[in-house]
Structure 1
Amino acid sequence: MASWLKRHRRRLSLILAVVAPAAVTAALTAVRDDVENTHVALVLVVVVVGVAALGYRVSGYLAALSAGVWFNLLFTQPYLQLRINDRADVQTFVLLMIVGGAVTELAVWGRRQEAVASREAGYLAGIHAAAAAGAGGPNAGSRQDLIRQVATQLVDTLHLETARYQSGVAGLGDPARLRRDGQVVWNHATWDADHDGLPTGTDIELLVEHGGRLHGRYLLRAAPHRTVSMSERRVALTLADQVGAALG
């Protein structure tokens, strides 16, 4: 059930954006003569916040629009018409739309920050796991396990198609290179990885070094249409350093 909800989260948020304000406004008509329209608007803001909390901008704005339309139809005179006669109701309607848009932007920002925090926690967990594996001893089996583990983490961190390790070589085949400063160089020019992501259709070389000694390299194949942040590239460099330290 949880996996189904995750897959259909966006679709469900769109349905809620339309249905929830309509249902709540219709239910409130039972006490229409006993409550102020401003109180109704506040209840609808709570509904919009609930939809916007799912983190989708379109759903939040759609919920705000739906709330405004149903407030207009059921709580402003003339009823069931998209027209408002009372000046105070016009102001309430406008404020409902403005607040709905504002809470949507806040919710989207909050969800984006949550995603960033989750990714960073994953990066730290990966680095910790690599460090723990590297500390497992100097035997060849543990080193090979670490090399494979870091290759998997590089794929996840940099959104790659593949990552494979080669021992004791650098520059062979003139690939693009992820440098120590996090920049990507290809064909003797700096690649705009922040905007364009990693180069596709070519290997990207990530050197594995320690104490000035080259041990090998990872050859990375980037997935198309995926941007890679500087922080993600720095995590990749840290992971390669863990392999270098273990091999050294």
Structure 2
Amino acid sequence: MNSTPAELAAGSGRTVRDRAALAAGLVAPFLVSLVLVPFRSDLSHTNAALVLVVVVVAVAALGSRLAGAVAALSAAAWFGFFLTRPYQPFDINASADIETALLLLAVGQIVARLAAHARRLEAVTVTDAACLARIHSTADLVQSARSADTVVDHVRGELTALLGLSGCRFQYGTLLGQPPRPATDGGIAVGHRSWDLERSGWQAGEIELRACGNGHYLGRFMLTPGAGPVPPLQARLVAVTPADQTGAALEAAGPVGAG
């Protein structure tokens, strides 16, 4: 199974979207405040602040929490510059206007956090759904494939797409050496210590993902990390399942199929 459109869009478009949102966070509050200047004598400061809150919400929904925070700071600054007396300098005299500016900043920060959290939940849902589809696909193949080699080839493709690998090969039979291998927490076990992928990234060299059937080691996938970012935790945890399904297929095939 190749990467789904949702996965491709989430991966390739994230950087461009975040950059665009960050630029919008800087520029949009300025432009909107400038548009409100002709109406500032008739527009209450509360309503002006609410308009700017809408801008912050839009930026936060588009990009990252950083973009939302930048938009909130920009909105508070331009609110004070264009829409409160004395106009033009970055100075606010009236206590009510100071309170409005601070509330605008606080509300913008809170909205930015909520929007970022909602996007993370959406990303987790998409990732979990894609991973579940891969597991179901492999399980169906295990039931219907006439050869364990077919399952091995399928899982190699699945792991490559799921983890963004630059290479993935399978070794049958006896396991040699002690290369790094996936840990139960989603990290990488190197000997007796754990390698934190989130902080340190992929380690150079191949990673061993064992295929076991009925408690026996029947082979292993040797994973070569790609040049892209470390795959999300959900994908790293799920990667063990297709390997176990391969082990089940090899166990069912017996010595002839595994040979």
Tell whether the structures are fold-level matches, with TM greater than 0.5: yes
1:162 is matched with 167
- Map 1:214-229 → 2, pairs under 5 A: 214-223=217-226, 227=230
**Aligned to 1:88, which of 88, 91, 96?**
96
1:206 aligns with 2:214: no
1:177 aligns with 2:189: no
- Map 1:59-70 → 2, pairs under 5 A: 59-70=67-78
Q: CA deviation at 1:228?
A: 6.0
Following the alignment from structure 2 to structure 1, what is the Cα–Cα distance between the partners of residues 118 and 184? 32
Following the alignment from structure 1 to structure 2, what is the Cα–Cα distance between the partners of residues 211 and 163? 24
Gaps (5+ residues) in structure 1?
none
Q: CA deviation at 1:22?
A: 2.0
Deviates more, 1:229-238 or 1:67-76: 229-238
- Map 1:80-159 → 2, pairs under 5 A: 80-137=88-145, 139-140=146-147, 143-159=148-164
Kept after mapping to 2: 8 A contact 1:176/1:205: yes
Other structure's SS at 1:161 match: strand
Letter in 2 for 1:173: G
Following the alignment from structure 1 to structure 2, what is the Cα–Cα distance between the partners of residues 65 and 37? 17
Following the alignment from structure 2 to structure 1, what is the Cα–Cα distance between the partners of residues 40 and 185? 64
Kindly tell me: are residues 53 and 136 of structure 1, through their superposed partners in 2, closer, same or farther at Cα, counting changes over 3 Å? Answer: same
Of all paired residues, the percent bearing the same amino acid is 38
- Map 1:26-37 → 2, pairs under 5 A: 26-37=34-45
Kindly tell me: are residues 5 and 153 of structure 1, through their superposed partners in 2, closer, same or farther at Cα, counting changes over 3 Å? Answer: closer
1:52 is matched with 60
| CA RMSD in angstroms, aligned pairs only | 2.8
Letter in 2 for 1:213: H
Deviations 1:38-87 (A, max 9, x none): 11101111110100112323321221122112211221111111111211
Kindly tell me: are residues 185 and 11 of structure 1, through their superposed partners in 2, closer, same or farther at Cα, counting changes over 3 Å? Answer: closer
Following the alignment from structure 1 to structure 2, what is the Cα–Cα distance between the partners of residues 32 and 231? 50
Deviates more, 1:224-233 or 1:67-76: 224-233
Q: CA deviation at 1:186?
A: 2.9
Gaps (5+ residues) in structure 2?
1-8, 253-259
Kept after mapping to 1: 8 A contact 2:17/2:63: no
Question: TM-score by structure 2 length?
Answer: 0.80
Kept after mapping to 2: 8 A contact 1:177/1:206: yes
- Map 1:74-85 → 2, pairs under 5 A: 74-85=82-93
Kindly tell me: are residues 86 and 125 of structure 1, through their superposed partners in 2, closer, same or farther at Cα, counting changes over 3 Å? Answer: same
Kept after mapping to 2: 8 A contact 1:196/1:227: no
Kindly tell me: are residues 197 and 216 of structure 1, through their superposed partners in 2, closer, same or farther at Cα, counting changes over 3 Å? Answer: farther
Other structure's SS at 1:8 match: helix
Other structure's SS at 1:53 match: helix
Following the alignment from structure 2 to structure 1, what is the Cα–Cα distance between the partners of residues 213 and 13? 46
Following the alignment from structure 2 to structure 1, what is the Cα–Cα distance between the partners of residues 183 and 20? 43
Letter in 1 for 2:243: A
Kept after mapping to 2: 8 A contact 1:183/1:190: no
Q: CA deviation at 1:168?
A: 1.3
2:247 is matched with 244
1:13 aligns with 2:17: no
Letter in 2 for 1:210: G
Q: CA deviation at 1:196?
A: 5.2
Following the alignment from structure 2 to structure 1, what is the Cα–Cα distance between the partners of residues 185 and 111? 39
